Structure 1
């Protein structure tokens, strides 16, 4: 994300209002000066990093605090002995632990810090981070930087200070040999021993190791949900949908098994003794379309049709006896018709025949085939 650095210069501390002079470094590396009341409108829609002068804050180091992730209250109590003001009137920002478990602490008067944040927000600026210029001197060695008419002292384990040239010359006698950095056109004192291209670039590059004062009650409130919260919500929704699909699939499987069992029971009642088979629908269809066995009456009707086809023979009466078949009485025009019938229907037995007034009558026996 491209960021704009807004340096609030030390000479504005006296008024702490819209005339406060500022130095701006754009995301493209351009630098210009103005004051808080004349900030360009487009800054309101960008990521602004506010940089306070070291003169507004204090700094100290606290030793290891018990606990893997100690609470802010515990850290504040550990720093209370080194603070010149009460905790209730101070805002404390804590850095990360070093290899010895120690932490750097930056403290600022609570009401001053609250007014400064309010002043920025009035100008449409809600800074993504708030740092201190001397704390931007990171690295592995103690160093000093000439910036805006004063020396900033910092570095990995050194104190954070902003001092004049005269004070720096006094301190130099008590400090180990270290880099005193300045731009070529800003050689301010004999202490200068390392030339740099840009003091602003040096400070901007040290932001990664600097303490962000937007902590605790001053933590920046996001306008929308953070990406990890949004991702967590999406995962939760996905899990809920997957769980609903799983439960529905389980319910469908159980309902299908239950329906299949009920279908088998209904099939066994409809067709007792018939195997159901894996495809119950196909089995039902096959049984419905299979040839149905003919009844005794249907077979007698078929036999009567054959009598008629034999010619001059009429069925007049038929009786069925269990185990003995049918006894059938017929009428014919003559005995020759009966003989012709016997030739065509060899399974028919003739019990007796007699001459009647109109033709011949005979009693037949017929055992139907199963």
Structure 2
């Protein structure tokens, strides 16, 4: 699936001139204006948000039932946020080793505006991820993309920072630390490092394990599902029509028999 990576400096609104990293399903990616990305998009697209646009934490929830988690989530994170929880879109994911559940938060209006702008440009967004959350789930993971670095892995932290700041952050991250990236000589300390030709392709490979922000009010319906919410109504209408058809047939049969009886009586 094609992937669209929004830049860290994305503004409140997007337009055809906004630069983003376009990664087609096959072939190499490139930074392009969104107008050019639209011209190349021939199928549904995965949207990848910059880590700078979101907040990340893990919380204990009083229930494990899926139908109650979303309701309990708002109360669980309210004390951790300086903003009104009603203005945030909260996405919950897998449970950590200590039982807490991973949560990603983003301003509801920001996400709604971005999706509306991309839809207006003709991009069919079917999944939404955060770049730092696309890193592998094992140990501490680092990805250096030029001067920008991403932190992820099994701990709850998801972070974007300047690559040169890694030595100051290293002591806060549990070992082992696995790093990859586009830098020929990354900053130490690292347990191992692998240089990549296209870090964005590496990120895209982690979509299956990453949290999908297309939940709740932002759940993305696949093509052909736009009438899904009307399905119960269509079922009711179908049953009414079926009953009406049966009644009409029964009435026709009754009138026909009655006409035969009148004809016989007349003879």
The reply to whether TM is greater than 0.5 is yes
2:144 aligned residue? 146
1:54 aligns with 2:51: yes
Q: How does 1:105-144 map to 2 (within 5 A)?
A: 105-144=103-142
1:83 aligns with 2:81: yes
1:63 aligns with 2:63: no
1:217 aligned residue? 217
Q: How does 1:174-213 map to 2 (within 5 A)?
A: 174-183=172-181, 185-191=183-189, 193-197=192-196, 198-213=198-213
| Alpha carbons of structure 1 residues 18 and 188: separation in structure 2 relative to 1, 3 Å | farther
Higher relative contact order (CA 8 A, sep 6+): 2
Larger Rg: 1
Distance 1:52 1:186 in 2: 26
Cα contact 1:39–1:123 (8 A) shared by 2:
no
Aligned residues: 237
Distance 2:147 2:178 in 1: 14
CA positional deviation for 1:112: 1.1
User: Any idea what SS the aligned residue of 1:203 has?
Assistant: helix
Distance 1:184 1:49 in 2: 23
Q: How does 1:201-350 map to 2 (within 5 A)?
A: 201-225=201-225
Unpaired stretches in structure 2, ≥5 consecutive residues: 230-234, 240-267
TM-score, length basis structure 2: 0.76
TM-score, length basis structure 1: 0.56
CA positional deviation for 1:10: 1.1
CA positional deviation for 1:191: 4.1
1:161 aligned residue? 159
Distance 1:218 1:14 in 2: 18
Distance 1:204 1:100 in 2: 28
Moved >6 Å (runs of 4+)? none
| Alpha carbons of structure 1 residues 134 and 154: separation in structure 2 relative to 1, 3 Å | same
Distance 2:2 2:86 in 1: 32
